[in-house]
Structure 1
Amino acid sequence: MTSMRSPQKDAYEMILEAIDTGTYKPGSRLVESELAERFGVSRTPIREALQRLETQSLLSRDGRSLIVASLDHSQLSELYVVRGALEGLAARLAARHSTPEELAVLRHMLEADRALVGDPDAMSRANRRFHKQIHLASHNRFLVQQLDLVHRSMALLASTSIAVEGRPTDTMVEHERIVKAIEMGDGDAADLALREHISQAFTIRLRLDAEAVQAGR
């Protein structure tokens, strides 16, 4: 098996990235020896990374095995409530504290992402970058830390709402509204636009889950 080791990343970061990119999906079993071979590290840092991920509730126990955790309906709802509040605050602070250079980066991202509308996977990655840039533009390190935790938990969702037909186009419209509000320095509008964006994503997520349940019957 080809090693995926990166000198800039430790075992924890590599496993977390693999979960975030869908290499390991909710329910996937993680085995120390397999992970050590995959990432080209010894089993000790892998074991420590798995313990850390379990403590953060990103992994759960299935008998003696560790598996990537999944979110039930209540956990999903709680996650989106927190995400909406924190993301809205980040947009509000970005409208107040972002630099001209940060605004230029946001605008560039927005324009570049229009070419990705037909590629849901690329669009999903671009969406994460876009939101991260807003987090950084808030210039509040404690808020950024909390949003990092929230987005780690988002990796436990089996699919992306952006894959739904029509959602990429709607996402770009919503992103445009967010960027315009931040550019204008309108914290109230930026907060509202970001919260509505998250609300739309949550609505689609609930619909996807309901359809999956129905299909399983």
Structure 2
Amino acid sequence: MPEHNWMQSLDSLEPIPALGEHVVARLRRAIIAGDLPVGTHLVEAKLSARFSVSRGPIRDALRRLQIEGLVEPGGRGLIVRGLTLEDLEELYMVRELIESTAMRRCCEIAAADLSGVERQLDRMRTAYETGDREQFARADLEFHTAFYEIAGYRRLASIWAQQRPTFAEVLTVTNAQDGDLAPTLRDHELLLDAVRNRDADRTLELLHSHIHGSLGRMRAAYADIARPSAV
């Protein structure tokens, strides 16, 4: 009888996120949603008990959140820093700088393969039709990520990858409060058309309008959640 290959029995199972990734995702969402208020002292022992993990993954998660600017040193440990409205504006400024460069490059590439972008736009349409706001936000981020992949700018893609988790949670919070996602969907359709036509000026004009419109909606929706600005 052939020896049973135990690895094959795992093929049908859903992949389990690394413990540190699971913890950081939960904490990031709680901070950005305002469930963990600014100034909250994050105690490793309590977090370890709450998530039923050792302190190693907790430390990894807190280091990641500190890099992202969501927690900061306070007392003898770390406290929740959260996001100010100025933080959001800076995030969107950085995003426009790097994304405009990537999208301009996409317009310059002859016969660029836009199939990945088209797939994400289809996902956005489906999510819009079914009212699935979380899936809409995920497809939205994948739509923009696809342009970095097409452009082939690894360092820009790396900068975007560092900021993307924060954008994902902010979108989840604000999409839940946005009454109509149709304008956002239309923005993405127009962006894809402009890149498909290799019209760089039109693409950057649309991107600027889209990002600043999104920032305006987020500023309004996030005003009650974001931490006060430093005086």
TM-score by structure 1 length? 0.76
Which consecutive unaligned segments of at least 5 residues does structure 2 have? 1-14, 226-231
User: In 1, Cα distance between the equivalents of 2:162 and 2:76?
Assistant: 26
Letter in 2 for 1:18: R
Q: Is the 8 A contact 1:58 1:153 kept in 2?
A: no
Alignment partner of 1:160: what SS? helix
Distance 1:156 1:176, change over 3 A: closer
Note the residue ranges of structure 1 that are not aligned, 5 or more in a row.
1-5
Which of 192, 202, 206 is the aligned partner of 1:193?
Answer: 206
Counterpart Cα distance in 1 of 2:65 and 2:166: 11
Output the CA distance in 2 between the equivalents of 1:93 and 1:143: 12
1:131-146, aligned counterparts within 5 Å? 131-146=144-159
SS across alignment from 1:66: strand
Larger Rg: 2
Could you say if the C-alpha distance between residues 121 and 67 of structure 1 is closer, same or farther in structure 2, counting changes exceeding 3 Å? farther
Paired residue for 1:114? 125
Deviations 1:38-76 (A, max 9, x none): 666531343244234324423234545534432212222
Return the alpha-carbon distance in structure 2 between the equivalents of residues 202 and 27 of structure 1. Answer: 22
Name the % identity. Answer: 28
Equivalent in the alignment of 1:165: 179
1:43 is matched with 55
Cα root mean square deviation, aligned: 3.1
What is the match of residue 83 of structure 1? 95
Distance in 1, Cα, partners of 2:87 & 2:50: 31
Q: In the superposition, relative to structure 1, how do residues 68 and 188 fare at CA in structure 2: closer, same or farther (>3 Å)? A: farther
Determine if contact 2:121/2:139 at 8 Å carries over to the other structure: no
Determine the structure 2 residue equivalent to 1:15. 23
In structure 1, C-alpha distance between the alignment counterparts of 2:150 and 2:66, rounded to whole Å: 31
How far 1:150 sits from its partner (Å)? 2.8
The 3 A distance-change label for structure 1 pair 193 and 16 is farther
Q: What displacement does 1:177 show?
A: 0.8
Contact persistence 2:107–2:195 (CA under 8 A): yes
Contact 2:72 2:79 in 1 (8 A): yes
| Aligned mates of 2:205, 2:126 — CA distance in 1 | 26
Cα pair distance change 1:184/1:37, threshold 3 Å: farther
CA shift in 2, pair 1:209/1:105, >3 Å: closer
Moved more, 35-44 or 189-198: 35-44
